[in-house]
Amino acid sequence: MRPKTTPTRNYSQPPSALATSTEETAKAAANVVAAKERVERLRKGEDVFVGFTKPPTAEDLARILREAGIDPVDCARVNELASV
């Protein structure tokens, strides 16, 4: 007979990181459910609101890139290369 095993805590991360990870996992799961509902509504031919009320401005795009950790200098280099 095999002994029962109990789940062990992952000690490689501090408790605060684990809590954040759990919260992020719950948010991601909620987003998956919402996305599946939108897909199902699209298949039925219904209109689906996705949250965009206006096209993003240059400031919006710059903010999004900053939040993603992309340096404005890198963006300038990409624009320069694209114009060649």
* Statement to judge: residues 19 and 41 lie in one domain: yes
Range of the domain at 44: 15-50
Q: What is the mean pLDDT of residues 1-6?
A: 58
In a domain, 2, yes or no: no
- Farthest CA pair distance, the chain: 71
Alpha-carbon span 61 to 76, nearest angstrom:
13
Residue 54 backbone phi and psi in degrees, to 5: -150, 160
In a domain, 6, yes or no: no
pTM: 0.39
Three-class SS of residue 28?
helix
Q: What is the pLDDT of residues 35-84, one digit of tens each?
A: 899 899 999 998 887 776 778 888 888 888 888 888 888 888 888 888 87
* Statement to judge: residues 46 and 58 lie in one domain: no
* Statement to judge: residues 37 and 61 lie in one domain: no
